[in-house]
Amino acid sequence: MKYSFDEKIDRTGNHAAKWEEIGKKFISSDLWPMWIADMDLKTAPEIIEAMREKVEQGIFGYVYRPDSYYKCATDYLERRFGYQIEPSTLINSPGVVPTISILVRLLTKPRDKILIQTPVYYPFAASIRDNGRDVVENKLIKDEKGYYTIDFEDFEKKVSEEEINLFILCSPHNPVGRVWKKEELQKLSELCLKYKVRVISDEIWRDIIMPGYTHTPIASLSKEMENNTITCFSPTKTFNIAGLQASFVTFPRKEEWARFDEELGILDVKRNNPFSLVAFEAGYSKCDEWIDQLIEHLNGNMDYVVNFVSEKIPEVKVRKPEGTYLMWLDFSALGYKKEELSKFMQEKGKIALDDGFWFGENGTGFERMNIACPRYMVEEGMNRIEKAITEWRKDN
């Protein structure tokens, strides 16, 4: 491999929230950090080089975006997904979560109902509630093997019986790791068009797809669906540059692009910082090989976890994700209630994970583990979970 993902890392002095804010979020600060979605892996050398050149210029004033900024994003989409969009439909924004929050305000009124598919990335619900709108859940269906699918009957019931005109799709899905099949997206798209439900498609995970799966942008399914969808994406998860804070939104409708642009203007958050500007261009234009090798590494870490669980801790259930670098571990056989499981993992396992119930009530009994790190970190994490389960066995 040209790139190495197994270098020992030391994030001391990195001001890493993942390592140094553990004490704020969990019961103590000495837990093994496998929560929050950033990687304990260095970004691509091509990105570091582009940022180094910027540092060496020594001037970090206001920057403008050259035409090549959006062009490299659309070229990338065409090259990697065969998906063509016009650079002029894109707009830069400070992040996917702020984008969703602004869109919720632009597309709905207070107390409107917005549909999400739980368990799902918890800022979706927070953004709906914090903006004074109401969450309606279309709960995903889980089979006995931990495979999640969409409850289309319930989806249709909700969009036909309740006044819902906005749906936030997570595609690929965090935390359940599904890369939605074209047929599934087709069905969702038919229902949304039939019942006039606008779609915000959060596709921040679209680059991290395991071998054998293909991501389909929902907007690519038809002209009607393209016109009905606002898609959010970003290279921040892909290249581990979330701290640079920038993302892209695709607006098929010019008037909505303009309203969003105006909103960014009011907040005065239209510009990139000098580093996101060069990092994004380098990522989208020079790093395809790095992404392919990253995926190989993540895929190996996932296999390691799946094998470890089946050989050593069969009380736990896990299914290999189709995309993302997040594993959704089912601890429900231990019989703990929500906070009890969280406390157990922290006290007995000395590990920091994202508690399943943060993602919705139907995430109770689960913990989300981030495996985007060198293998030794995954091994340490799994050994700690095994230790906790050994303690549980003594009492059960």
**DSSP string computed for 1-12:** --S-S------T
Cα separation, 168 vs 156, whole angstroms: 15
Nearest approach, Cβ of residue 81 and ligand PLP (Å):
18
Q: How, if at all, do strands 148-149 and 141-142 pair?
A: antiparallel
Count of residues near ligand PLP by CB under 6 A: 13
Map residues 111-140 to x or -, x wherever contact with ligand PLP holds by CB under 6 A: ----------x-------------------
Closest to ligand PLP by CB, 40 vs 202, is: 202
- Which residues sit opposite 90 in a β-bridge? 250
**DSSP string computed for 332-391:** GGG---HHHHHHHHHHHS-EE-EEGGGG-GGGTTEEEEE--S-HHHHHHHHHHHHHHHHH
- Which residues sit opposite 113 in a β-bridge? 134, 164
Closest to ligand PLP by CB, 279 vs 334, is: 279
Closest to ligand PLP by CB, 197 vs 241, is: 241
Query: Judged by CB under 6 A, does residue 202 bind ligand PLP?
Result: yes
Question: Binders of ligand PLP among 75-104, rule CB under 6 A?
Answer: 95-97
Question: Binders of ligand PLP among 18-57, rule CB under 6 A?
Answer: 37
Nearest-CB residue to ligand PLP?
95
Question: Binders of ligand PLP among 169-188, rule CB under 6 A?
Answer: 170, 174
Among 43, 201, 220, 234, binds ligand PLP (CB under 6 A): 234
Closest to ligand PLP by CB, 95 vs 381, is: 95
**Roughly what angle, to the nearest 10 degrees, separates helices 45-57 and 274-286?**
150
Nearest approach, Cβ of residue 20 and ligand PLP (Å):
18
SS3 state at 137: strand
Map residues 239-268 to x or -, x wherever contact with ligand PLP holds by CB under 6 A: ---x----x---------------------
Cα separation, 262 vs 265, whole angstroms: 5
Among 176, 204, 221, 291, binds ligand PLP (CB under 6 A): 204
Closest to ligand PLP by CB, 100 vs 291, is: 100
Closest to ligand PLP by CB, 213 vs 336, is: 213
> In the chain, which ranges are E strands?
32-33, 90-93, 113-116, 134-137, 141-142, 148-149, 164-170, 198-202, 229-233, 247-250, 326-330, 351-352, 354-355, 366-370
Are the C-beta atoms of residues 167 and 192 closer than 8 Å to each other? yes
Nearest alpha carbon to residue 314 among 328, 330, 297, 298 = 330
Question: Binders of ligand PLP among 350-379, rule CB under 6 A?
Answer: none
Among 138, 236, 301, 342, binds ligand PLP (CB under 6 A): 236
Nearest approach, Cβ of residue 389 and ligand PLP (Å):
27
Cα separation, 322 vs 37, whole angstroms: 16
Nearest approach, Cβ of residue 157 and ligand PLP (Å):
25
Nearest approach, Cβ of residue 321 and ligand PLP (Å):
13
Distance spanning both ends of the chain, measured CA to CA? 45
Nearest alpha carbon to residue 140 among 113, 86, 176 = 176
Binding site for ligand PLP (CB under 6 A): 37, 95-97, 121, 170, 174, 202, 204, 234, 236, 242, 247
